[in-house]
Structures are given as structure tokens and as C-alpha cells.
Amino acid sequence: MSFITFIYKIKNNNKTYYGKYVFDYISDDHEGLDIEIKPYLLCGINSYRKQKNLPKLEPLNIYIGILSFSSNKYIPLYSSYTEIKCFDFYYDNTTTQNSRTYVNGNLINLIN
């Protein structure tokens, strides 16, 4: 399992949020890790916001800062699922079934 930890901000909001993107594989042919994870973050946040009757966020209103990238290619990495409660956004794409998205420690249903 590999992961990207990041912070993100929402336009017109001074709060800094924390996120983690957990995966088995990511291509090294990308335009930036922030750009790679942004669609998953945006989909998760907008699904959460829709369930709370809040307006949808546009892609230009979310800013992402990568804190770290860790790969299990060289060093075995493992964290328990109890860490999910520590993040504002947590995306787990390591299962062979479906990915799971958590906002504020709670599993959410994705809405397109």
C-alpha cells in the first residue's frame, strides 16, 4: 500500500484540511500528484456537501498541497484503519472491490 498525505483549502475559508489518498498503484506519468488526486477529493467533498444540502464546489475553489508521498515499493508501509478518524478526507483505493471515501471519519456514498 502506498499513500499521499496532503492538505487542502477551500476558497474563501481560512481553515486547513488534512487528507490521505491510499492506493496500490499510481502511474509515474502524471502532471503532478495534486492534479492526480484532485478529482477524487472533489467528488468526495461534493458528495458530502450534497448530503448536507450545501452548494457544490468547483475545481478552481479547492487548493491542494502535497505533504508526502510514500511508496511500499522499497519500504513496507501499513497503517490501521483507525487512522481514518484523524483525517478530514480519506480515500482508500486498495480494495479489489470498490474504493471507499471518508469525510470527517465517516464513510460516504459517492454521488455524481
Q: List pLDDT tens digits, range 32-78.
A: 899 989 999 999 999 999 999 999 999 999 999 999 988 766 666 66
Counting residues of the chain whose pLDDT is more than 70, the rounded percentage is 86
User: Would you say residue 83 lies in a domain?
Assistant: yes
pLDDT for residue 59:
94
- Please tell me the pTM assigned to this model: 0.86
Q: Would 108 be classed as within a structural domain?
A: no
Q: Is residue 61 part of a domain?
A: yes
Which residues are within 8 A (CB) of 54 and not within 5 positions of it... i.e. 6 or more apart? Answer: none
- Give the CB-side neighbour count of residue 44, counting CA atoms within 13 A: 25
CB 45 within 8 A of CB 24: no
112 inside domain: no
- Asked if pLDDT for residue 81 goes beyond 80, the answer is no
Contact 98, 32 (CB under 8 A): no
In a domain, 35, yes or no: yes
Domain that residue 42 falls in: 2-96
Does 70 reside within a domain?
yes
- 81 falls within a domain: yes
Please tell me the total count of domains within the chain: 1
Residue 58 falls within a domain, yes or no? Answer: yes
